[in-house]
Chain A
Amino acid sequence: MKQRVLKITLFVILCLAGAATVLPFLWMLLSSFKTNAEIEALEQSFLPRHPTLENYINLQNNFDFLRYFANSILIALVVTILVIYTSCICGYVLGKYKFKGKNLIFGVVMMTMMVPWSVTIIPRYTMFVKAGLLDSYLSLILPFMFSGFGIFMMKQNMENVPNELLEAARLDGANEFQIFHKLVFPLCKNGISAIAIFQFLWVWEDYLWPYLMMDSEQKQLLAVGLTQFNGRYATDYGGLFAATTISILPVIIVYVIFQKRFIAGVAAGAVKG
């Protein structure tokens, strides 16, 4: 009996917490189908009374949101792929080789994770302006080619790859480049998926750097696009709901499909913390 009460209490608490988690998303999605008059009405209803696609159609007419979306996906993909590769290869060298200065290099890699963006962004901005990289996608890619978090994760991962395997390949006459690309790289799926998820998200939601670097509107990324939209149409709540839905919903769909990998990846990143 006591067990049952406890079980039901637990379930109710979890459901309430779950509802609180989902509610803002649901509200956003439903409101994006309401007219502005209905959103601002005194008498509110949760479901739209007269569902309309107006917000989405107007949004795309006034503001090329799909373009921002595509830009963000492109940059996030390029950076993520680069970071996966550089993290694996640096992780391999740092995890498997012994050489002088290794600990020093790894220490500096760890430091990159602790130094706040506010320290590096002013000099980086100065350097990129001087180098004439304003408004070029290179400026959104170059500073993020290596990731301290990624190298740290992959070093841990590489240390779990058995040395015997490498030795066997070496005896077979494979050189290190072949060993890394054909043997080790495919072995690190878990670490790779964790890095992929985090890195993609970080690029996707980064605001300040693309805001500073990109001048032309059609090259801008989604996060900055959202603030520009809000700056121009501050009271168009319906439009803002549609815009946020477009930038949030795809992420949630991808997440729900791959949630197992997502969560395993996050957990893998922390265990050795």
Chain B
Amino acid sequence: MFKRRPLQSKSEIWMRNIVMSILVIYMVIFLIVPVVMVLMGSLHQWNPLNGTYKWIGIENYTRMFSYPTFWQSMFNTVIFCIFVVFFRVILGLGIAYAVNSKMTRFKTFFRTVFYMPTVTPLVAVAYVWKIMYNPQFGLIDKIFGLDINWLYDSAFALPALMLMTVWKDFGYAVILFLSGLLSLPSDCYESASIDGANAWQTFRHITLPLLKPTMLFVVVTSIISYLQAYVPVLVMTKGGPGTSTYLSSYLVFDQAFKQYNFGYASAISLFILVLTAIFTVISFKAAGSKEN
């Protein structure tokens, strides 16, 4: 471990310098410069169509915080995140546990089926679901004998998007939890069964705590990706009815590339970045505190 090669060869230095300088140039162009540009842009009135780029201080931010659609989109995003992450974790864990059980046959088959929606392109899937929610001939109403105009009823539109997203993404959680379950040490279970623990106790006190790293990974990656969700909104509702399905990332898309308010959209996108960071830190903190 502590043995160090005394001399770095010339080719190693070359390799390091070439590869790292290309990587650094790439990151400067595609990450650092953009973040600086967004920061600056959020302080300007910025419209690329007519070439406006005028300093207005924090006006974009004050406008943002007094704009009801912004708060509506934040509220929707938080609701969307909480529900989808919750069901993704519950379904993912439950189904992974069932598939992993000694009693289950055709494990590979089930695994393959559950992961299928995850590998399909979201835009296409969203169109299929859009027709599935059709009140006249859509599959959902037909199967459950309902009469709901899902995407045009402000009470049901956001839940409809959440249901589609859960369906699309739960398989990813299943696979992650399955690989987590497979990597658990078997000796814990042996001693638990010797101690006479029942299935629920074993699950609650042994499996669950051991799966915490997987859980954390699923929760954090889910939150990060759902804060960025816009495709279902774009395809299925365009934010409507009213503003009931505006998600914050869709608001950025709308403000930036429909209205061309680049400065204003920059301010909103920075807010999403801050939110992402906060959620990530909270998740890690929550995982850490449960340990004690």
Separation in Å of the B180 CB from the closest CB of chain A?
8
Question: From residue 146 to 189 of chain B, which have CB atoms closer than 8 A to chain A?
Answer: 167, 171-172, 175-176, 178-180, 183
Q: Are A207 and B266 in contact (CB under 8 A)?
A: no
B172 to chain A, nearest CB (A): 7
Q: A21 near B30 (CB under 8 angstroms)?
A: no
Digit string of B107-148 for contact with A (CB within 8 Å is 1, else 0)?
010111111110111111101110110001101001000000
B122's partner among A117, A145, A205 (CB-CB below 8 A) is A205
Chain B: interface size category = 35 or more
CB proximity of A155 to chain B, nearest CB, Å: 12
* A223 at interface by CB-CB < 8 Å: yes
- How near does chain B come to A234, taking the closest CB pair, in angstroms? 10
Query: 0/1 per residue, A111-133, Cβ < 8 Å to B?
Result: 11111111111111111010000
**Cα A105 to Cα B142 with chains together (Å):** 54
Total residues of chain A contacting the partner, CB 8 A: 93
* A222 and B11 contact, Cβ closer than 8 Å, known pairs A20-B167, A116-B249: no
B256 in contact with A121 (CB, 8 Å): yes
**B89 interfacial contact with A, CB 8 Å:** no
**CB-based contact A259/B171 at 8 Å:** no
Contact check, A10 vs B34: say whether CB atoms are below 8 A apart: no
Is there an interface contact between A244 and B176, defined as CB atoms closer than 8 Å?
no
CB–CB B124/A247 < 8 A: yes
Expressed in whole angstroms, the minimum distance between the Cβ of B46 and any Cβ of chain A is: 9
Q: Are A123 and B27 in contact (CB under 8 A)?
A: no
Which of the residues B11, B103, B139, B180 comes within 8 Å of A175, measured between beta carbons? B11
Chain A, range 1-51, C-beta contacts under 8 Å to B: 3, 6-7, 10-11, 13-14, 17-18, 20-25, 27-28, 31, 39-42, 44
A93 partner residues in chain B, CB cutoff 8 A = 15-16, 19-20
Query: Of B23, B41, B234, B256, which one neighbours A105 at CB under 8 angstroms?
Result: B23
Which of B61-69, B201-209, B272-280 is found at the contact surface with chain A? B272-280
B119 in complex: contacting residue of A118, A243, A255, A270, CB < 8 Å? A255
Contact A122 B228 (CB under 8 A): no
Contact of B112 among A39, A248, A256 (CB under 8 A): A256
Contact indicator B139/A262 (Cβ below 8 Å): no
Residue A165 is within 8 A (CB to CB) of chain B in the complex: no
B257 at the interface (CB under 8 A from A): yes
User: CB-CB < 8 A to A21: which residues of B?
Assistant: 113-114, 116-117, 167, 171
Given contacts A97-B16, A123-B37, contact A116 B104 (CB under 8 A): no
Q: Are B121 and A223 in contact (CB under 8 A)?
A: yes
Report yes or no: A120 in contact with B34, Cβ–Cβ below 8 A. yes
CB atoms of B132 and A120 under 8 A apart: no
Q: Give CA–CA (A212, B277) in the complex, Å.
A: 27
The reply to whether the CB of A74 lies closer than 8 angstroms to some CB of chain B is: no
Query: Which residue of B105, B214, B257 is within 8 Å of A212 (Cβ)?
Result: B257
B226-268 residues with Cβ-Cβ distance < 8 A to A are: 227-228, 230-231, 234-235, 249, 252-253, 256-257, 262, 265-266, 268
**A241 at interface (Cβ–Cβ under 8 A)?**
yes
- Check B35 for interface membership: any CB of A closer than 8 A: yes
B101 at the interface (CB under 8 A from A): yes
Q: 17 A–B contact pairs at CB < 8 A? A: A11-B105, A90-B19, A112-B27, A112-B31, A116-B273, A118-B268, A120-B38, A122-B262, A124-B34, A125-B257, A127-B34, A226-B123, A227-B235, A241-B131, A252-B116, A252-B120, A266-B175
10 additional A-B pairs beyond A108-B32, A259-B112, beta carbons within 8 Å, are A14-B98, A22-B116, A108-B27, A109-B27, A112-B27, A122-B37, A205-B121, A230-B127, A244-B125, A270-B217
